[in-house]
Amino acid sequence: AQSVTQLDSQVPVFEEAPVELRCNYSSSVSVYLFWYVQYPNQGLQLLLKYLSGSTLVESINGFEAEFNKSQTSFHLRKPSVHISDTAEYFCAVSEGSNDYKLSFGAGTTVTVRA
């Protein structure tokens, strides 16, 4: 069974500074990897995903994540954050063989300050 660990529960960051959110997973089979974002008082929405191919995936609003199979990690980065990036970020893992189950990490709250 897979598990997902997000190493930081809270990340305060100043506007225009870089941010990295760490995610590690445990699984014995190949996986699909996701980052979801939850803005205040909203549901989750997909930020980006890794299914196969290039290990570096990007979102439309400047986030990127790199799949590292040997380290079983899928860290999320943004080189310059905006106030509007204040949100909670969830890493999630799905095992292709276990069709329905999406396992979520505990979440990382990013607070961007001016």
Binding site for another protein (CB under 8 A): 4, 9, 32, 34, 36, 42-46, 49, 51, 90, 94-96, 99-102, 104-107
For the bound state, the minimum distance from the C-beta of residue 35 to another protein, rounded and expressed in Å, comes to 11
- Compute the chain's Rg from CA coordinates: 14
Tally of CB atoms within 10 A around 53: 8
Residue number, 37 or 81, with CB nearest to another protein = 37
CA separation for the pair 90, 109 (Å, rounded): 9
Q: Give Cβ neighbours of residue 60 (< 8 Å, ≥ 6 apart).
A: none
Nearer to another protein, 3 or 71 (CB): 3
Closest CB 113 distance from another protein, rounded Å: 22
Contact 61, 7 (CB under 8 A): no
Question: Closest distance between another protein and the C-beta of residue 73, in Å?
Answer: 17
| Residue whose CB is less far from another protein, 17 or 46 | 46
CB of 1 to another protein, least distance (A): 10
Instruction: Tell me 61's DSSP state.
Output: T
